[in-house]
Each structure stands twice: as C-alpha cells, then as structure tokens.
Structure 1
C-alpha cells in the first residue's frame, strides 16, 4: 500500500482544507449517502481557484475500507479526463480519515430528478441516456487503450448531473480493471456487489461478472429515465417493486405508457418526435435487459444508436427554431 500512496502523493489534500471547505462536515452540506458513506458539498480553494466540490467521506460501518478507497482513486486517476466521467480533484488519507474529493456537479444525482418531469424535461432525459452510455463505453476501453473497467455499481445515484443536465459517471469503488485486450472475454467470479434493482441476474445467480453486467444495469437506468420511476420501490406491490421486470413486461405487451409518469407521458403523447425517440430508446433499454448476456448489445452499439437519436432530436429542434424565426421575420416584413 505504501507504493500506492507514493504514486498518488500529488493528489493529497490536507484534512484541514477539507474541514474548512465543508464547514467541519456540517450536516447541512450533506448531499447524499451511499455504500461508501456520506457525501458533502463544499467550496475548496485549490491553487488559488475556489472550486465547488463533493467530499465522499468513508464510513467504515458500511463495511468498506482501504481496498475500496484506493480502488476508486486508482480508477478516477486513470479516467480523469473525459467529459462524461466525474473529475477527481484529490483525496485525503489523514488521521484515520479517508475522503475522496471530486468536482461537484451542481444539480446532484440522477436519482433526485427521476420523478420530476417538470425540472428534468423529456429532451434532457433523452440526452442523458446518450451521455451515460458514452461514459460506460469509455470505461469499457477500446483497442489500444491502457485500461478496461467493469463498474459493478451503475445506478441512478452514481450518475451525476451538471448545470446543463449532462450526465457524469461516478462511484468507482467497486470497479474491476483489466487490460483492454482482455475486455471481451473478461469474466471474474466475485462476491456479488451492487445496488438492489440494478444487478445482472446472472451475476446474482452465479457470482460471475462481465462487462455485459454493466450493460444490464444501464438498461435499468434507461427505463428509470424514460418512465420517471426508481429501479426499486419497497412501497409498491410485490409485482411492481422492481422496475426491470415490470418494464420488460409492459414493453412486450406494448403498454409501456401504463408505467410512465403521467406528466412525462403527456409530454410524449403531444409530440410525435418524442414518441418516436421513446420507442427507439426503450427498444435499446429492453435489449440491455436480455436474460442471456450474449444477446445483450455491446456498448459501442448502444452509443451508436443513442447518438443517432440525439442528432435527430437536435436537427428537428434546429429546424423548428429556424421555421419560427423565418415565419416571424416574414410576418414582420409584411406588416
């Protein structure tokens, strides 16, 4: 572990600066809590620049410790450049405190906005689907890249939204790294780790995890976004607690609108283009949830299909905007 610490020495942040940034870990600054512990927002003076940060403070009562802490630091140090991965600022390993500091994405987690169709609009949701898939595709690695990761904990709480509603992937404490050359055949047996409602059923049954396990989790997240529902709701009836089987059932029956948030469905029903996008993206989400791993799509295929939808949406929006401007200009000239 000493050699690991030396490698990351340049990322160390004194505890004193983090205490100042979070007002001594004031509960008023708590913005979330996960398997790692509480997450605090704050303002950190870093090389003369005041930055909005989130500080994830390890709480050992959750059963995690040094391994998960260093796993996340290692992963984020490798992935610390693309636009759809949360950016690490540094960490603190001092006085038995283990804290990971990342840029704070102003909106918060995707989970906070799933059931808010007014604030988190339909078009923002469609775009978020693409950004999330792009992030997963990036960590999957490509030919010639130095890494390939299985995330193992993709869910709506580890996906953050910035001020422009662009999604970023975080929560790499459970990730597993391999070489990019081995990524297609990378299969490891381990203790089942993840979040209820998102875990690949094959992983649950066998303890075997692959990149296609993350594809399954993505399918759940896509349906969360489209339906405005959470992956698991303990207050629902037994057959409606878990979104994945519920969404699959209604997709197969052609009754997906029955489980979509009513206000979201109103937006879809009044816009033929939105309806078309919903159909396309729900088809992708359904394929990700295939029981057979081999039948789930590869991430580059998912990104390609979602990118087509985003581009189509952009062109349609630009056309409508241009039409309105031309119509307005024309009417003004003839007055």
Structure 2
C-alpha cells in the first residue's frame, strides 16, 4: 500500500493529516491566533508601531535567558530523576469539566507583547491572575502530580488550560518536567499534539498555558465515564492519530524527540474524537544518529505498565521505547483494560502479557472488550491489531517496527475494517430486503 508519509523530514506546519479525516472543529481554528495578533489586525496603526518598536528593540535586546536555551544545551533538561508512575494533570486539562466551564476572564492585549519564540507568549503573573480570576476554585478542572489545572479564555476567545505547578520543596523534579514540556512544545506543531500558547517562569511560579481539549482522556472513554462506549472504529482512528503524532516526533522535526510517557491518560479527545497527545514532562531529545549514536543513556522515566523492559534493564533510551508503550496502548484499546489490573487474578494482572498469551493460543476473541460486539469486522480488526501489538512488544528493540511502520499497518487495518463493515451492511440490507419481499408475497 502507499505510505502516508513522505520520504523527507519537514516541519510541523507542513505536516498533513490523513486524507478523509474529520476536520477539526471551528473552535480550534481561532486558537491559531495569539492575543497580540488579533489586536494588530484590528488596528493597523498599532501593528505598524509594534513593527517599528520591534526592529528598534532588537538592536538593544539582552541575550536570551537560561530558560530559552535549546533542548540540547539545557543541563537541567539533560538531568534525570528516578522513575515515576504517577499520573500528572499535565495538558490533559480537558479531561475534567469545571463547575463554571464557560467562565473565564479575558487577558488584556496591551501587555502581551514579549515573546520567547514566535507564537509563544511569555505571560505575566498579573495576566494569569486575570484569566483565572486569581485561581478561582470555580475555574479549576483538574489536579495531578504536576499541580492544578484551570480553564480560562484569552482575549481572542481561545479557551485554554492553565497548568500551575506545585511549589513543594520536595517536588524539585517538577522543574525539570516544566522545562522539558516548554522546550518540547515550543518546537513542535501537529494537529495530533496539544498546542502550547505560552508560559510563565517567575520566582516559585511555573505555569504553562496550553490548548484546552474538551472531550476528556482516552482512558476515561475506555472506562465509559462519559456514558457511552467508544466503538472499535473510533478506537482505531485514535490509534492512527497517536501513531501520526509520534511518527512526527521521531522523524519530521530537526531534532527527534522521544515522548517517554505514551499512555491512555495522556491522550486527549476532541468533540470529533480526534486524538491529541499531551504531557511532555518526560520528553527527551533522541540520540544524534548522524554522529553514530544509537541511544541515550538515562535513568528510567515513564509509567508502570507501559515501560520498555529493555530500557528498564539497560537504561538505554531509543525511539523504540515509545513503540513499546504504543504496543501496550494498542492492547488497551482492544481490551478496554488498564495495563495493570491489580484486582484480577495473577495470570490476568498484566494486561499485555495476558492478551498476547491468548492471541498466541488462537483465542484472541476472548480478550475483546466485552462492551464491543463480536462482529466479523471487529474480529478481523482485533486479530490484526493484536498482531501489530505483538511486534511492538518484542523484548528486543531491534525487533520492533518503527512508528512510521505502525501507522502504515494501522492504515491498512482501517481500510480492511471499513471494507468489511460495508460488506456486512450490504449483506444485512440484502437479507432485510428479501425478508420484506417474502412478507409482501
């Protein structure tokens, strides 16, 4: 089949979505404009003045602060901490609904002119106080290991999630995660990655302002928290979206990035059930293959149940560690179970191990999420998805496929799945028509 990927690396803005995809909702179109951009469009005089001021200031601007160092130059980013399997609120802010979900103050556009990078706003504390109404409890929509998350609205109407890091002296690793997320998100742009709007790093306050994704996390939908069952077609679309996002990180930016925490609670869903990968606190720049490096030596970070066993054993991190986590995610999608199920009997406790054993015993149907129908189309897709998961979960990284290959295989699976659905619907329609004719006769 034809690969959905071009043979060259290109920037995020040049990266196209899968043909035939449901387009993003109109709400996301407006989010591409920053508050100062809106102000300039409304007042051409202001725009001209800002342009002149910018050229003048550029001649006398001080050098960039340490916080603006590149990914490779940041010593803090290079440092590692011990493994963490806690779930952080992160940019999964859209996963929970606030008591005042439509509320929010507007940021004044007059002060938001200082930028660290094009399109990334460096907010002041006063502006953050304005949009969160002094961190009003009614605006709070989440709480996690990183800290509290609030929902707010910018001047141009863009709804955002404001992530406020904890201030505990015992949470020093959160500073590393904060820098990691800022540095990573400021360098990437993809429809299946959560968008960064701005940040604040002032004193003991660390705040990230990111895209608000309103339809919860994938894990919530697999748990039916939102009241409906996510069908297999939607789950397959989510898998493809995630594969596209990780492929972009691994191949289509100047310095490839390893996410290191691919899991269902870090995947947010839009109103149209398009997936967006979030939470880049553990992200790490990949080894420079041009210099002959094959891996990055680092202490282990990630979430229990998703961690690459070879990475755990050798401390050698590669893009294939993300592939292993993606394999666990594929099993999670078709079974509906969490990677680790403590309440189950021992042989079923580790979901991926249990599912792969059943698959190898030619009993794949027994692992299908019981909330999904055992139709011909679902059964066919189940076998193919588990086969791909088995490859991703290979103990040795060289035996795992690339994320690009995973995306190509999933495309093929979705194509076959849709054809099977169409054939089944046609047969069902034909049978109904025959029954109707018999009754009339």
**Band of TM-score, shorter chain:** 0.7 to 0.9
Matches within 5 A, 1:55-204: 55-59=162-166, 60=168, 61-79=170-188, 81-116=189-224, 118-142=228-252, 145-178=253-286, 181-182=289-290, 185-204=293-312
> How many residues are aligned here?
319
Q: 1:89 to 1:258 in 2, by over 3 A?
A: same
Between 216-225 and 133-142, the greater mean CA deviation after superposition:
133-142
* Match status 1:217 vs 2:354: no
Number of the residue aligned with 1:16: 126
| TM-score, L = length of structure 2 | 0.65
- CA drift of 1:38 comes to 3.2
Q: Deviations over 1:212-269 (max 9, x none)?
A: 11100000011111111111223333333322222222221222333333112xx1x1
Query: Given that residues 186 and 211 in structure 1 are in contact (C-alpha distance below 8 angstroms), is that contact kept between their aligned partners in structure 2?
Result: no
Equivalent-residue separation in structure 2 for 1:184 and 1:217 (angstroms): 25
Equivalent-residue separation in structure 2 for 1:319 and 1:38 (angstroms): 49
Query: Given that residues 141 and 180 in structure 1 are in contact (C-alpha distance below 8 angstroms), is that contact kept between their aligned partners in structure 2?
Result: no
- CA drift of 1:72 comes to 0.8
Q: Name stretches of at least 5 consecutive residues in structure 2 with no aligned partner.
A: 1-63, 69-114, 437-441
Query: Given that residues 364 and 382 in structure 2 are in contact (C-alpha distance below 8 angstroms), is that contact kept between their aligned partners in structure 1?
Result: no
Equivalent-residue separation in structure 1 for 2:229 and 2:123 (angstroms): 35
Number of the residue aligned with 2:77: none
Query: Given that residues 109 and 156 in structure 1 are in contact (C-alpha distance below 8 angstroms), is that contact kept between their aligned partners in structure 2?
Result: yes
Matches within 5 A, 1:302-317: 302-314=406-418
Number of the residue aligned with 1:4: 67
Q: 1:63 to 1:197 in 2, by over 3 A?
A: farther
Q: 1:183 to 1:199 in 2, by over 3 A?
A: farther
- CA drift of 1:322 comes to 9.3
The CA RMSD measured in Å over matched residues stands at: 3.0
Rg (Cα) greater in structure: 2
Number of the residue aligned with 2:345: 237
* Match status 1:37 vs 2:37: no
SS class of match (1:11) = strand
SS class of match (1:279) = helix
Query: Given that residues 148 and 183 in structure 1 are in contact (C-alpha distance below 8 angstroms), is that contact kept between their aligned partners in structure 2?
Result: no
Q: 1:201 to 1:278 in 2, by over 3 A?
A: same
Q: Name stretches of at least 5 consecutive residues in structure 1 with no aligned partner.
A: none
Between 182-191 and 131-140, the greater mean CA deviation after superposition:
182-191
Number of the residue aligned with 1:247: 355
Query: Given that residues 288 and 297 in structure 1 are in contact (C-alpha distance below 8 angstroms), is that contact kept between their aligned partners in structure 2?
Result: yes
| TM-score, L = length of structure 1 | 0.84
Q: Deviations over 1:129-152 (max 9, x none)?
A: 11111111110014xx41201111
Q: 1:185 to 1:239 in 2, by over 3 A?
A: farther
Structure richer in strand, relative to its length: 1
Equivalent-residue separation in structure 2 for 1:7 and 1:251 (angstroms): 50
Q: Deviations over 1:280-314 (max 9, x none)?
A: 11111111011111111111111101112233445
Equivalent-residue separation in structure 1 for 2:419 and 2:288 (angstroms): 35
